[in-house]
């Protein structure tokens, strides 16, 4: 380990962890005894969805399906229906597929090995690392947009993290992780929380930041970001995403196939409506045709 690595770790560890112990939100997945299955479900639900919307849906989900085998025994349509309005409902199908694989290949126990987690359907690098760290306490860098923002500002002196680059982001997070497993897991969570609550994108609360006195961006006078920027999500109102959501709501609300006449009432633009419906069929979120009507997937 070189002097830079030692300095980076010592600059982060104590103040960030002390702050986290005082200020961390009381969230279900942080409580002692929370199951690895619950951690996996929470991580999938939290992708592009606010914590406040996830908590009640997560609790209802785990009450209904407390183990992967319980979910695997239900039709995919029930997973999509229970997903309700969390958005990006393909995640519900991914969870159902992952639950089936866990039940069949791993004896109904969520694996802890990152490669085994990555082999599950629909589980990407971030989720695999997050489960290994937050459910099992293993030592890996975990990087989401909040972590990337904190590291970009505090370590690199940049106002924005720019597009995600795993080959750069993971080693940078590795540079601030302590050697000890428990402390490393806590540091992952603490830096993530700091980015979510204090070092936010638009108006960071530097006066409340535990590492404000050692932040490279602050020390440089908050220079404007002049590098590449992360892509911004397209406007929701009037988008195909909105139409997809409206169609999904119609399908979730019905226990029988939805007719084309009922589909037509969902959105006035026939071309956009047809395009959105075709994408749902292609993604496996709907099945059927104009003659029989459309419904959630039966599996």
Name the catalytic one among 43, 78, 160, 287. 43
Distance CA 263, CA 266 (A): 5
Q: What are phi and psi of 244, to 5 degrees?
A: -55, -45
How far, CA to CA in Å, does 102 sit from each of 45, 95, 115? 18, 10, 14
Task: Find the DSSP H helices in 24-144.
Answer: 36-46, 51-64, 68-72, 76-83, 90-105, 114-118, 125-134
Cβ pair 79, 294 in contact under 8 A: no
Distance CA 243, CA 205 (A): 36
State both tokens at 287.
Answer: 């099945």
Q: Say whether 271 is catalytic.
A: no
Catalytic sites, residue numbers: 43
């Amino acid at each position: 380990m070189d002097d830079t690595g030692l300095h980076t770790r010592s600059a982060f560890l104590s103040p960030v962890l002390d702050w986290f112990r005082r200020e961390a939100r009381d969230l279900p997945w942080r409580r002692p005894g929370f199951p690895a299955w619950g951690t996996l479900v929470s991580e999938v639900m939290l992708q592009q969805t606010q914590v406040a919307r996830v908590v009640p849906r997560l609790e209802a989900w785990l009450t209904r399906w407390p183990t992967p085998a319980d979910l695997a025994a239900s039709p995919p349509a029930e997973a999509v229906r229970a997903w309700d309005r969390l958005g990006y409902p393909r995640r519900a199908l991914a969870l159902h597929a992952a639950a089936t694989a866990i039940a069949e290949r791993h004896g109904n126990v969520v694996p802890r090995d990152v490669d085994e987690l990555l082999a599950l359907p629909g589980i990407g690098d971030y989720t695999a690392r997050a489960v290994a760290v937050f459910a099992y306490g293993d030592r890996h860098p975990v990087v989401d947009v909040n972590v990337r923002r904190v590291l970009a500002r505090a370590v690199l002196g940049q106002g924005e993290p720019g597009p995600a680059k795993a080959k750069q982001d993971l080693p940078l997070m590795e540079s601030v992780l302590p050697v000890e497993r428990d402390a490393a897991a806590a540091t992952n969570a603490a830096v993530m929380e700091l980015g979510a609550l204090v070092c936010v994108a638009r108006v960071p609360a530097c006066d409340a930041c535990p590492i404000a006195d050692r932040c490279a961006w602050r020390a440089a006078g908050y220079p404007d970001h002049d590098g590449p920027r992360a892509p911004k999500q397209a406007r929701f109102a009037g988008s195909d995403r909105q139409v997809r959501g409206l169609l999904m709501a119609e399908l979730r609300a019905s226990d029988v196939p939805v007719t084309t006449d009922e589909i037509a009432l969902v959105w006035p633009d026939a071309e956009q409506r047809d395009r959105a419906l075709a994408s749902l069929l292609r993604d496996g979120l709907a099945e059927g045709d104009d003659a029989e009507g459309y419904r959630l997937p039966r599996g």
